[in-house]
Amino acid sequence: MSLDAFDEHAYSRLMQKHYAETVCVVAAIGDGMPEYWIAAVPREEALEVVRAKVNPDRKLLLTDRRLTPAQIARLKMQPGTLRRVKSVP
């Protein structure tokens, strides 16, 4: 592929989609309302990362919820970050 044929916008969209696939939503369930955590880590690491931050009595559930690239940008998520949210966007 020549540099002349390189579509920077298409590449950016592809990378945003790929990154969105590595952002996971974890529910921490306890006595009251569930806590929701957004983890910008591979799915296989998400539960372990959240477990280190929550009460050990809470049950963790890796949800099927996916965030859009726009939602990820609004949350200012970067690879490797973890954020507790009041509700899932």
pLDDT in tens, 19-45: 446 789 999 999 888 999 999 999 999
Residue of 16 and 41 predicted with greater confidence: 41
Mean pLDDT, range 45-50, rounded to an integer: 96
Q: What is the mean pLDDT of the chain?
A: 81
Question: In the 3-class helix/strand/coil scheme, how is the chain assigned residue by residue?
Answer: CCHHHCCHHHHHHHHHHHHHCCCEEEEEECCCCCEEEEECCCHHHHHHHHHCCCCCCCEEEECCCCCCHHHHHHCCCCCCCEEEECCCC
pLDDT of residue 78: 85
Question: Which percentage of the chain shows pLDDT scores above 70?
Answer: 76
